[in-house]
Amino acid sequence: MSYISAQNLVFSYPGADQPVLRELSFSIEEGSFVAIQGPSGSGKSTLLYLLGAMNRVQSGDLFVAGKNLNQLTRTEAAFFRASEIGFVFQQFHLLPKLTLLENVELGGLYPLEIAKDRSVLKARAEELLGKFGLSEKKDELPSKVSGGQQQRVAIARSLMQKPRLILADEPTGNLDSVNSQLVLQELKRLHSEGHTVVLITHDGEVAKQADRILHIRDGRLESEEILQYTKNKAAPLHKDSDTKTQDMVWSKDLLRYLAQNAWTQLSANKVRALLTMLGVTIGVGAVLSMMTLGGFAKEKILAGYAEMGVNTFEFNGYPNWDMKAKDVKGAVFDFFKWETDLLPLKNIFPEIQRISPVLTGRNVSVVFAGKTIDNDVRILGVNEDTFSIAKRKIIVGNPVNAYHVKNRSPVCVIGYDVAERLFSNVQPLGQILFLSEDSQEMSCKVVGVAARTSSRNEWRKPNLEVYLPFTYFQAKSKNWWSAQIREVLIEIKDGASMENMGKGLRAFFQKKYGNSGRFRADSDAVLIEQMNRFLNIFSGFLAAIALVSLCVGGVGIANMMLVSLNERVREIGLRKALGATDQSLRSLILMESLLICFLAGLVGVVLGVIAYQLILFAATKFVSKLEFEWIFNPWAFLISFGSIVAVGILSGLIPALRAEKMAPMQALRTE
């Protein structure tokens, strides 16, 4: 079987009036040196690109090394080019930003899916450059060497993976006669080493260097000329061409190469890259600072409300007096019972931090040593959690404790104004107060004095209150109404929803007692929940504004990548010719956008931290109660870094998809 076999090939470009190749048939044996000659427009270069698996014919069969090229997928064709074919182009197609050594190495990189040792590639590239007499110039850029030397570098690049087939497209077209002879000698030498060489040329003298000439005109084989036709007997360089595809094998060498290539592209256009990165820098800095400041403001505002007791609420329960006897079903609610109704709530609702009953005495007077207070005084029956729930500080003595509650101790804590009026010249601790409620008298020993405070309710005078253990109050009060637990003070844990807690308690007691009770939560719970929602919306709004600026920066990067891609069309075509798969190109482009975003994002994070700390420092100069502190919001940092990665991927995705769609044949011909 022939190494290359073409049967009735037909190929035409989209929109063309006439096909470029018309029923073209020929065969080439392995180890041959064949020249394909014809005038411009005859279809010889198109044929070379078809032999290189860079395009497909519309009809006919094309076999190379036993592979039907029309049946290969895009990825299989890339693997085939990388393992089987070495390209030598008229325009050399050396990447100007890479050294001669790096350009030669490029021929061995693809496909990137196959893990390769870069040190082995470098040694192979240095060996080939030495073979072509260019070792001393390996670190030079292509622009610093002659055209003949550039073409020899291109030939060296084509040999990196020891291909069986060398496809040379007008390799002497841009060279003088001396360098042309040197290049032809190299092609002859490669032929003598066992390579099959197919040379495309319009020059008859160049074509005569081959063993066989195929003359093409108007897409047809016009004639065939055998000059020597001495089939090379050298052993094949490969047992079989490789079209087996695999997923990309990620390694340190691969990541290092992708990062180095991305850095090279950025370094080539520093000003453009810096201006583009500025948008992402501002966006990331804004996201970080806005989210951090929004979270900080929310925390401080809610903490300020918490100090006023807004993470607490009152829960009330009353018998349903309008309920008729015939409507009673099951348990009947007759006010709250501490042991059976209230004490189990902390186990039923884990959101509850503390709970205290509140009994209220009316028509109260307080007497000590002939001094009496009988206006706006209230007696409150409480437990040991009340003062923590209400955030009431004790400036003298101690609050009511669990021992007092358990043993119904006759002790009390008095409000600041009570102490000021009754004990202006006497130490209040240990003194005995006489309390009167509806002419019913009781006494208590003062164990503490509460600090002065204010109330959100105008009718309440917290500094004229006297706090007793609720068990003692119930035991001594003769007023049935006052001794009932109608009101419960509840503190919930941070982060719990007050509105949901209130609804949950109502549902619990309604299920337990049905319509025999009426239950409601203090309206402050709804107010605080709405405040929390507003702050969440406000923080999200700030973050959204910042994300918009980040998106604008991402659009700038995508635009820069597209402009850069337009400048590198030939490079993309070359990489595809060398065996780059769609995945390889995608990784290459995405790494460039990720590197831009990472560098810009890193600067943005630093600037964002500096910005919000400066804002906080400035705020402390205008808000006396605000103290400067170093803050770190882990969610803001995570979202910032997540945004960097997301913007990097999204901004590089469109350019990457565009690079994938480029046809290598058209890309290489782009002026």
pTM of the model: 0.63
pLDDT at residue 145 above 50? yes
What is the pLDDT at residue 260? Answer: 83
Question: In terms of Cα–Cα distance, which of 512, 557, 126, 106 is closest to 342?
Answer: 512
Task: Judge whether 599 and 263 are in contact, CB under 8 Å.
Answer: no
- Give the pLDDT of residue 429: 93
- Domain, as residue range, for 633: 261-305+531-669
491: in domain? no
Which residue, of 204, 220, 246, is where some domain finishes? 246
577-590 confidence digits (pLDDT tens): 888 888 888 888 88
Cβ pair 388, 403 in contact under 8 A: no
* pLDDT exceeds cutoff 80 at 531: no
Is 640's pLDDT higher than 80?
Answer: no
Separation CA 335–CA 439 (nearest Å): 24
Indicate whether 42 and 155 sit together in one domain: yes
| Residue 8: closest CA among 57, 56, 75 | 57
φ and ψ at residue 264, rounded to 5 degrees: -60, -45
Confidence band, pLDDT 50/70/90 cuts, at residue 236: low
- Among 429, 461, 485, give the residue marking a domain's end: 485
- In what helix (H) or strand (E) does residue 373 lie, and over which residues does it extend? strand 371-373
Residue 349 has what pLDDT? Answer: 92
C-alpha dihedral, 276 to 279 to 285 to 287, nearest 10° = -130
Does any domain span residue 551? yes
The average confidence (pLDDT) of the chain is 83
Q: What is the pLDDT of residue 409?
A: 95
Nearest-angstrom CA–CA distance, 53 and 11 = 13
On whether the CB atoms of residues 353 and 509 are closer than 8 A, the answer is: no
Residue 383 contacts residue 469 (beta carbons within 8 Å) = yes
Question: In terms of Cα–Cα distance, which of 526, 494, 527 is closest to 299?
Answer: 494
Residue 594: Cβ-neighbour burial (10 angstroms; 0-12, 13-18, 19+): buried
What are the angstrom distances between the C-alpha of 134 and each of 130, 171, 335?
6, 18, 100
Collapsing DSSP to helix, strand or coil, 378 comes out as: strand
Number of domains making up the chain:
3
Strand spans (E) along 400-516 = 411-414, 432-437, 440-450, 465-469, 487-492
> Which residue among 246, 272, 287 closes a domain?
246
Residue 361 and residue 292 share a domain: no
The one-letter amino acid at 147? G
Shared domain for 267 and 242, answered yes or no, is no
What is the C-alpha separation between 623 and 627, in angstroms, rounded? Answer: 8
SS3 for 363? coil
- Cα-to-chain-centroid distance, residue 299: 26
CB 467 within 8 A of CB 397: no
Written as six digits, the tokens of 530 are 């709405």
In this prediction, residue 433 has a pLDDT band, given cuts at 50, 70 and 90, of: very high
Domain assignment present for 177: yes
- 3-state SS, 557-576, equals HHHHHHHHHHHCHHHHHHHH
Q: How many CB atoms are located within 10 Å of the residue 403 CB?
A: 11
User: Are 269 and 166 within one domain?
Assistant: no
Maximum Cα–Cα distance for the chain, whole Å? Answer: 138
Same domain, 296 and 347: no
Give the residue carrying structure tokens 């004639």: 223
Identify whether 566 is part of a domain: yes
> Do 197 and 282 fall within a single domain?
no
- pLDDT for 239 equals 47
State which H helix or E strand residue 301 sits in: helix 270-307
What contacts 298, CB < 8 A, 6 or more positions away? 535, 536, 538, 539
Residue 327 lies in a domain: no
Tokens 């923590």 correspond to 388
Q: At what angle do helices 147-158 and 118-131 cross, to 10 degrees?
A: 130
CB atoms within 10 A of CB 303: 12
Express each pLDDT in 585-638 by its tens digit: 888 888 888 888 888 888 888 888 888 888 877 877 777 666 777 777 777 777
* DSSP track, 101-147: HHHHHHHHH-STTS---HHHHHHHHHHHHHHTT-GGGTTS-GGGS-H
pLDDT the model gives residue 610? 86
pLDDT greater than 70 at residue 209 = yes
Domain membership flag for residue 644:
yes
| Whether 72 contacts 242, CB under 8 Å | no
Tokens for 438?
């509806």
Nearest to 599 by CA among 548, 544, 652, 648: 648
490 inside domain: no
- Residues 71, 214 within the same domain: yes
As a whole number of angstroms, the distance between CA 364 and CA 440 comes to: 9
352 and 230 belong to one structural domain: no
Give 325's pLDDT tier (boundaries 50, 70, 90).
Answer: low
Confidence of residue 327 (pLDDT cuts 50, 70, 90): low
What lies within 8 Å, CB to CB, of 28 at 6+ separation is 2, 3, 4, 5, 34, 196, 198
Q: Are strands 432-437 and 394-397 parallel, antiparallel or unpaired?
A: unpaired
My answer on whether 70 and 217 are in the same domain is: yes
Residues 58, 153, single domain; the answer is yes
Q: Is residue 535 classed exposed, middle or buried when 0-12, 13-18 and 19+ CB atoms within 10 A define those classes?
A: middle
Q: Is the pLDDT of residue 248 over 70?
A: no
Residue tagged 């706090």 (tokens): 467
Q: How does 232-264 read in b/e, with b if 16+ C-beta sit within 10 Å? A: beeeebeeebbbebeebeeeeebeebbeebbee
Question: What integer pLDDT is reported at residue 356 of this predicted model?
Answer: 93
Q: HSE on the CB side for 412, CA within 13 Å? A: 29
Give pLDDT, residue 523: 55
Query: What's the pLDDT score for residue 428?
Result: 92
CA dist., res. 151 & res. 302, Å (int):
73
Residue 163 sits in a domain of what CATH number? 3.40.50.300
Higher-pLDDT residue of 237, 13:
13
Winning range, highest mean pLDDT, from 31-45, 126-140, 398-412: 398-412
Claim to verify: residue 451 and residue 587 sit in the same structural domain: no
**Two tokens, residue 329:** 């079903």
Residues 70 and 199 in one domain: yes
Q: Averaged over 245-268, what is the pLDDT?
A: 77
Of the listed ranges 117-121, 533-537, 652-656, the one predicted with least confidence: 533-537
501: closest CA among 526, 481, 483, 484? Answer: 526
239 lies in some domain: yes
pLDDT recorded at residue 416: 92
Q: How confident is the model at residue 407 (pLDDT cuts 50, 70, 90)?
A: very high
pLDDT band at residue 238 under the 50/70/90 scheme = low
Which residues does 114 contact at the CB level (< 8 Å), separation at least 6?
Answer: 246, 249
Q: What is the pLDDT of residues 335-354, one digit of tens each?
A: 899 999 999 998 999 999 99
What's the distance, CA 118 to chain centroid?
Answer: 31
Percentage of the chain beyond pLDDT 90 is 18
